[in-house]
Amino acid sequence: MSRPLCLITGASTGIGAACAVLAAQRGYDLILTYNSDAAGAQATADACTSHGATAQTVQADMADPAAIDRVFAVVDATGPLAALVNNAGIVGPATRASALTHARLREMFDINVIGAMLVAAAAVRRMEPRGTGTIINITSAAARLGSANQYVDYAATKAAMDIFTKGLSDEVAAAGLRVMGIAPGLIETPIHGKGGDADRAQRLAPMVPMQRTGSADEVANAVLWLMSDDASYITGSTLDVTGGR
């Protein structure tokens, strides 16, 4: 019996990479996208193949609709799409809302919202005729916390994805598709360094009721549970993975 196919965007490191390896362990074949870290994406693919999966990497800037089309050309050439982990996203250096520029906002929304919505829409077009499929949008606890004085623009993009998750899930539920969100909190991943504050998660850990940061593997476990038949009556909701924050 062939393995189901899962597409994971932004899979070169962090949560995307952890989801890919766990999906391979749970019986999926993978298509993994990355923007600039080809070596990281290949390392993720190699880890997946060590668990018996096939894993292809595809370079794609999620701000570029043509790149998204290329990703789905690979999907179509590989097999029916069973699951999407819509994970690719960026964060900018910490700043106040009053200092935001049009260029920064354009990039943030092009990747975190418009690109993610286009990826989800392309997945639906392939899943809906078959009457099966799951989509997991990786959002953030920032969507309800606001990230004042740090990442208000990032928080706004993730809030947009929360409501998109609900709206899309209602559109496709009767067709047999499920759409859910995962909202990580303070997770130890390289995204903090990309935002210019590599120690941010550890510094803020005392604010978490559980008094610690989370791991990418803990997020991946939640993602794979939502993708499984054990969550067959769950759609339209976003699960916090935040240690209670």
For the chain, the residue count is 245
Q: Who's near 9: CB < 8 A, 6+ residues apart? A: 16, 33, 60, 62, 71, 84, 85, 86, 87, 88, 116, 119
Phi and psi of 4, rounded to 5°?
-65, 155
> Other CB atoms closer than 10 Å to residue 5's CB: what's the count?
20
User: CA–CA distance from 172 to each of 4, 113, 167, 175, 180 (Å)?
Assistant: 20, 19, 9, 5, 12
Strands lying side by side in the sheet with 29-34: 55-59, 29-34, 5-8, 81-86, 133-138, 177-184, 238-241
Q: Under DSSP, is residue 27 helix (H, G, I), strand (E, B) or coil? A: coil
- Based on the residue annotation, tell me whether 154 is a catalytic residue of this protein: yes
- Candidate list 34, 151, 154, 233, residue with the active-site label: 154
Q: Who's near 133: CB < 8 A, 6+ residues apart? A: 81, 82, 83, 84, 123, 124, 126, 127, 176, 177, 178
Catalytic residues: 154
